[in-house]
């Protein structure tokens, strides 16, 4: 199919067969897996996955690509969901789904947060993303890449940076390097926030002005007595706190 990539959908189609083979090996699809692919595009990943799976769900918003898929694939092998991934209810596919995809870079972070809302139904996720985003996802405290995304994803997920993918592996070639990441929800949460909405508020505020100290960024949440009770240095910055530290602050406030 001759398809012109649409900028509004953030389309960059993977074409490097060696990279595609590495992706499939990393995903390791099993015949009876309940798997859903976000943004299947022209089938670079879809087709090799179908060689391993009995059935694949795909979420695609582009009607032109959907029309092509309906002609290209057997109806009993692919279930097409014509939907924006940001609005799709992944939990309706079951409670042990595996999610894969070459995510549109312009909406990758909102998709990741949307999937967190469905995380109880997810077994694992494998994504191609902008390299900078993956570096932020897996970053450790007190490093430049560590931020809100790191904390909120690491609270729920174990993540592994698998490998880097160069721009020339795509058509059209993006202006940045990409990376492939594995995300696995914790079976047993290492730390539990009493109020996850409050956790999100605290983390967002703390990183809102990341060069300022906690005394300034969390002034609406913590007073001097709170810092003392938490044994927390108010001159630290958000990037110096671990996920567990943010949960401790949240649970103190929730109490």
Structure tokens at 11: 């389309």
Confirm if 136 and 145 have CB atoms less than 8 A apart: yes
The candidate with the shortest Cα–Cα distance to 83, out of 68, 71, 65, is: 65
Please classify residue 195 by burial: count the beta carbons closer than 10 Å to its beta carbon, then call 0-12 exposed, 13-18 middle and 19+ buried: middle
**Which domains does the chain show, CATH number per domain?**
7-185 (3.40.50.150), 196-254 (1.10.8.100)
Q: pLDDT tens for the chain, 255 residues: list them.
A: 444 443 444 457 788 999 999 999 999 999 999 999 999 988 899 999 999 999 999 999 989 899 999 999 988 999 999 999 999 999 999 999 999 998 888 889 999 999 999 899 999 999 999 999 999 999 999 999 999 999 999 999 999 999 999 999 998 888 899 999 999 999 999 999 999 999 999 999 999 998 999 999 999 999 999 999 999 999 999 999 999 999 999 999 999
**pLDDT number for residue 172:** 81
Q: Residue 29 and residue 26: Cα distance in Å, rounded?
A: 9
The residue whose two tokens read 């953030």 is: 10
Size of the chain in residues: 255
Q: Is the peptide bond between 172 and the residue preceding it cis, with omega within 30 degrees of 0? A: yes
Structure tokens at 33: 């897996």
DSSP 131-144: HHHHHHHHPPTTST
Question: DSSP alpha helices (H): ranges in 157-242?
Answer: 196-208, 214-217, 224-230
Distances in Å between the alpha carbon of 102 and those of 2, 132, 207, 250?
A: 19, 15, 28, 34
Q: Residue 31 and residue 53: Cα distance in Å, rounded?
A: 4
**pLDDT number for residue 200:** 98
The candidate with the shortest Cα–Cα distance to 250, out of 193, 178, 210, is: 193
**pLDDT number for residue 4:** 44
């Amino acid at each position: 199919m001759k398809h012109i990539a649409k900028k509004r959908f953030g389309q960059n189609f993977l074409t490097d067969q060696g990279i595609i083979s590495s992706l499939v090996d990393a995903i390791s699809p099993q015949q009876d897996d309940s798997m859903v692919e976000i943004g299947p595009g022209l089938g670079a990943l879809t087709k090799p996955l179908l060689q391993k799976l009995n059935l694949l769900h795909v979420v695609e918003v582009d009607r032109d690509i959907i029309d092509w898929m309906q002609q290209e694939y057997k109806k009993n092998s692919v279930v097409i969901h014509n939907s924006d991934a940001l609005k799709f209810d992944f939990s309706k596919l079951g409670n042990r789904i595996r999610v894969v995809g070459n995510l549109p870079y312009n909406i990758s972070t909102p998709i990741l947060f949307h999937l967190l809302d469905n995380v109880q139904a997810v077994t694992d996720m494998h994504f191609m993303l902008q390299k900078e985003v993956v570096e932020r996802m897996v970053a450790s405290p007190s490093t430049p890449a560590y931020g809100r995304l790191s904390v909120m994803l690491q609270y729920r997920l174990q993540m592994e940076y698998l490998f880097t993918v160069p721009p020339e592996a795509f058509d059209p070639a993006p202006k940045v390097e990409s990376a492939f990441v594995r995300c696995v929800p914790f079976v047993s949460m290492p730390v539990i926030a009493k109020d996850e909405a409050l956790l999100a508020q605290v983390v967002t505020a703390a990183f809102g002005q990341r060069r300022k100290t906690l005394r300034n960024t969390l002034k609406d949440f913590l007073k001097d007595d709170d810092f003392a009770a938490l044994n927390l240095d108010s001159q630290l910055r958000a990037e110096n706190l671990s996920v567990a530290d943010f949960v401790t602050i949240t649970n103190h406030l929730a109490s």
